[in-house]
Chain A
Amino acid sequence: EDKVVQSPLSLVVHEGDTVTLNCSYEVTNFRSLLWYKQEKKAPTFLFMLTSSGIEKKSGRLSSILDKKELFSILNITATQTGDSAVYLCAVGLNRDDKIIFGKGTRLHILP
């Protein structure tokens, strides 16, 4: 059965700290790994990774994929209260354009 496992499930840090969120997966027909941020409503797309070892960056956020060890990490440096959200990892499959979501990491940044 295809699965995506995120850790930790919940994390509380202080503003300015750096956090690393983890995502491991076991799927057949891997196509891509995606990160989303969900605040109050719709998940918003952050990154799509398809190749191992190539870091994607957007401001203070970065992510990398290891297709050999089947995991990805999402780093957030110099966290701000606005980074508080649930971060969702999802794996895209080659069939049907389907994506399988992890349960998310709930990140709370204390001022």
Chain B
Amino acid sequence: GEEVAQTPKHLVRGEGQKAKLYCAPIKGHSYVFWYQQVLKNEFKFLISFQNENVFDETGMPKERFSAKCLPNSPCSLEIQATKLEDSAVYFCASSHGTPGNIQYFGAGTRLSVL
């Protein structure tokens, strides 16, 4: 597609429940990035993929968070046993890889953990 598509727009979970977020990158883009933005503050990098391979996962919390990008499927970010502090907007972005680093963002998924 011509834009990064994220679903759902809003997700509400009780503490301890699982949350799964999806991202379809722009067609032809080989890199996918996930970010967490808490309360309109700075973007925290979580993980990046080059095609279906994890490229950089230095921002991923060691527990509860996992992500995948499988061929012919949207990428996903899953949070097991959500906590209140996971409440944030999760943005996905995609890029060509070269030239430069222009990343194009999806509209985000707002996760509310109650």
Mark A residues whose CB is within 8 Å of B.
Answer: 31-32, 34, 36, 41-45, 48, 50, 86, 88, 90, 92-93, 96-104
Contact = CB atoms under 8 A, between A and B. Distances in A.
Contacts of A90: 101
Nearest to A32: B100
B48 A96 contact: yes
B55 A45 contact: no
B40 A34 contact: no
B72 interface: no
B106 to A, nearest CB: 6
- Most chain B beta-carbon neighbours within 10 Å: one of A44, A99, A101: A99
27 contacts: A32-B101, A34-B103, A36-B105, A41-B107, A41-B108, A42-B4, A42-B105, A42-B106, A42-B107, A43-B105, A44-B105, A45-B102, A45-B103, A45-B104, A48-B100, A90-B101, A92-B100, A93-B101, A96-B55, A97-B31, A97-B48, A97-B55, A97-B95, A97-B97, A98-B45, A98-B56, A101-B42
Contact of B40 (A50, A86, A99): A86
